[in-house]
Chain A
Amino acid sequence: MIQMKDVWKTYPNGVMAINGIDVSIAKGEFVYVVGPSGAGKSTFIKMMYREEKPTRGDVVVNGFNLGQIKEKNIPLLRRSLGVVFQDFKLLPTLTVFENVSFALEVIEEAPATIKRNVMKVLDIVRLKNKARFLPHELSGGEQQRVAIARAIVNTPSVLIADEPTGNLDPDTSWGIMQILEEINNRGTTVVMATHNKEIVNKIRKRVIAIEGGRIVRDDIRGGYGYER
C-alpha cells in the first residue's frame, strides 16, 4: 500500500527534512505518525500524496512510484487517496454539499452518482442535515467532518490526515477520531500525523515516531511516548 525505501528529502534551502526512512504500511492499517515539531512529520506525510518529491529513494503509494511519477499521473494518484488537513481547506463560498461534490466533479462523475455518493458520506460524518450550510456556519469539528467527507467520497484506499484534530477542542477531537476509526473499519488505510497525546494513548494503534528526519520508534500498539 505505502512503501518507503531509503527515502531522503532535502529542501532547496538546504534543510534536510527526511534522512533515510524505511517503512511499510499495509492495507487496512491505522497508523499514527508522531514526533516533535520540525521532526519531518509533515514532509513524511506530504511525500505520500506527492506534494513533496523525495530527493532520493523510493516512495511507492498505491502502485505509483512517486520519485518517478509523471506529472500527468499525479491526479490519478491523488484520486486513489483522501487527504485531510489541520486547517480543513474548505472553499468558503461553496455549501457543505458542494464542497464534497467538488471532489467528484473534478473526476467527471455523473451527477446522479455524485448526489448519491455525497449524501452517503455526509451520512457517515453525520452532517446530512447540514448539506446546505456554508462552512462559516459550522463549528470547527463540523468543518473537519466536511473535509473528511470530501476526502473519502471517491472511496480511496488510503486516507491521509495531517493533524486533523490540531485545531479542535478535546471533545470534538474524539468525535473526529470515532469517524476515522469507522472509516478504518470499512477497510480504508488511515495514516494520521498528530500531536494529540490523549488520543494516541487511549486509542491504541501502530505508532511511528519521527525525530530528526528518521524513524526512531515503530510500535504495533504504541503510546505517544512524549511528554508535552
Chain B
Amino acid sequence: MKGRTLLRHGKEGVKNLARNSWMTFASISAVAVMLLIVGVFLLLILNLNHFATSVEEDVEVRVFIELTATKEEREELQSRIKLIPNIESITFLPKEEGLEQFIDSLGDQGEIFETLRSENPLYDVFVVRARTPQLTEQIAMKIEPLPYVEEVGYGKDVVDQLFKFTSFARQVGLFLIIGLMFTTMFLIANTIKLTILARKREIKIMKLVGATNSFIRWPFFIEGLLLGTIGSLIPIIILTYGYHKLYISFSQQLEFMVVDLLPANPLLYQVSSILIAIGAFIGIWGSMTSIRRFLKV
C-alpha cells in the first residue's frame, strides 16, 4: 500500500469518528468503563499476588531444640537437617537472641519482659527456610522425627489459607475480565455496525467502482483502533491518579500496616500497556466483525 493511501485511510477513519460523534462517544465510554474495571482488578490482583508472595517468603520452619541438648548434639542435628533436600538456608538462633527479638518486637510494652533475661524460658531455635514456600510443610515433617528436636513450628494454616485465597481471587478476576471483554466487544461491534449501516451505500458504491475489500476495511480498522485506544486512555489516567493517591496514603501509615503496595513504577506502566492492548484489540475486533457482512457485494 502506498503511503498516500494510508494517509487517506487515516483521514477517512478520523472523519467517520467525527461524523458519528454520538456513536463514537458511546463506544469510547463503553471501552473506558470496561477497562476501568479491568484495570482496578488487575491492580488488585497484582497487589494481592505481591502480598501473598511476601507472606509466603516469610514462611519458615522453626525447629525448637531440646533444652538438654549439648552443643555437639545441636551441631549433629544441624548437619542432619542440612541433608534434607530443598533447604534454602538454616540459621541458628540462640535463645538469648530470640528473647531479644521478642522484646524488641513488643516495643515499649516489652519492658515488662526484661526480667525474663535471667530466667530465659525460650528454646534455642534453628530457623529453616525452604526453597519454595510450598515445600515448607514437607520439610517440617522430615525434621520432626530427628533426635534432639523438641517441637517443629510453622505457619501451616496461614500459608494454606493464603494460597487458597490468592488462587481464588485470580480465578474470579480472570473470569470477570474475560466476561467484561466480551460484553464490550459486542457493544463496540454493535455501535460500529450502526455507523456502518449508514455507510452501507457508500461501501456498495466503493465495491462497484472496483475497491478491494482491504481498501474498504482500512478506515474501519483505524476507526476501531482509535476507539479502543482513546477508550483505554481515560481509565489509565484515572487509575494512575488514584493509585498514586492510594500509594501515598498507604506509605504514610506504613507502620500500622502489614501490607505494602507495589510501587507505582513499573506497575502502572505495565497495567497501562495491558489496558491499551486490550482496548486496541477489542476496538479492531469489534470493527472488523461488523463490517464483514457488508463486504459481500
Residues of A within 8 A of B1 (CB): 108
* CA gap between A83 and B297 in the complex, in Å: 14
Residues of B within 8 A of A102 (CB): 205-206, 209
A209 on the B face (CB < 8 A): no
- Docked-complex contact A89 and B205, CB < 8 angstroms: yes
CB distance from B13 to the nearest CB of A (A): 15
B258 on the A face (CB < 8 A): no
- Docked-complex contact A75 and B211, CB < 8 angstroms: yes
Measuring CB to CB, which residues of chain B are less than 8 angstroms from any residue of chain A? 1-2, 4-5, 8, 201-202, 204-213, 215, 297
For the complex of A and B, 5 pairs with smallest distance between CB atoms? A106-B211, A79-B210, A78-B210, A103-B209, A75-B210
CB-CB under 8 A for A105 and B210, given A89-B205, A91-B202: no
CB distance from A192 to the nearest CB of B (A): 17
Residues of B within 8 A of A75 (CB): 207, 210-212
- Docked-complex contact A78 and B2, CB < 8 angstroms: no
- Docked-complex contact B4 and A76, CB < 8 angstroms: no
How many A-B pairs with Cβ below 8 Å?
47
A111 on the B face (CB < 8 A): yes
CB distance from A65 to the nearest CB of B (A): 18
CB distance from A56 to the nearest CB of B (A): 21
- Docked-complex contact A83 and B2, CB < 8 angstroms: no
* CA gap between A77 and B209 in the complex, in Å: 10
A98-109 contact mask (Cβ, 8 Å, vs B): 1 or 0 = 000011011110
- Looking at chain A, what size class is its interface with the partner chain? 20 to 34
- Docked-complex contact A89 and B206, CB < 8 angstroms: no
* CA gap between A117 and B8 in the complex, in Å: 19
CB distance from A196 to the nearest CB of B (A): 23
Give residues 137-188 of A contacting B (CB, 8 Å).
Answer: 150, 154
Residues of A within 8 A of B211 (CB): 75, 106-107
- Docked-complex contact A78 and B206, CB < 8 angstroms: no
Considering only CB atoms, which chain B residue lies closest to A49 in the complex?
Answer: B208
A123 on the B face (CB < 8 A): no
CB distance from A159 to the nearest CB of B (A): 13
CB distance from B218 to the nearest CB of A (A): 11
Considering only CB atoms, which chain A residue lies closest to B19 in the complex?
Answer: A93
CB-CB under 8 A for A106 and B202, given A78-B209, A78-B210, A150-B209: no
* CA gap between A103 and B211 in the complex, in Å: 8
A interface: dominant SS: helix
* CA gap between A136 and B138 in the complex, in Å: 84
CB-CB under 8 A for A78 and B207, given A72-B212, A91-B202: yes
- Docked-complex contact B210 and A103, CB < 8 angstroms: yes
Contact partner of B297 among A51, A76, A103, A106, CB < 8 A?
A51
CB-CB under 8 A for A106 and B206, given A75-B211, A89-B201: yes
- Docked-complex contact B4 and A111, CB < 8 angstroms: yes
Contact partner of A106 among B2, B4, B210, CB < 8 A?
B210
A22-55 contact mask (Cβ, 8 Å, vs B): 1 or 0 = 0000000000000000000000000001010000
Residues of B within 8 A of A103 (CB): 209-210
CB distance from B3 to the nearest CB of A (A): 11
CB distance from A151 to the nearest CB of B (A): 8
Considering only CB atoms, which chain A residue lies closest to B205 in the complex?
Answer: A89
- Docked-complex contact B210 and A89, CB < 8 angstroms: no
Give 8 pairs: A residue, B residue, CB < 8 Å, sorted on A.
Answer: A75-B207, A75-B211, A78-B208, A91-B201, A102-B209, A103-B209, A105-B8, A107-B211
Residues of B within 8 A of A106 (CB): 206, 209-212, 215
Considering only CB atoms, which chain B residue lies closest to A150 in the complex?
Answer: B209
CB distance from A48 to the nearest CB of B (A): 12
CB distance from A214 to the nearest CB of B (A): 27
Residues of B within 8 A of A72 (CB): 212
CB distance from A153 to the nearest CB of B (A): 9
Considering only CB atoms, which chain A residue lies closest to B199 in the complex?
Answer: A91
Residues of A within 8 A of B210 (CB): 75-79, 103, 106-107, 154
Considering only CB atoms, which chain B residue lies closest to A77 in the complex?
Answer: B210
CB distance from A167 to the nearest CB of B (A): 17
CB distance from A98 to the nearest CB of B (A): 12
Residues of B within 8 A of A71 (CB): 213
* CA gap between A78 and B215 in the complex, in Å: 15
* CA gap between A80 and B1 in the complex, in Å: 21
Residues of B within 8 A of A150 (CB): 209
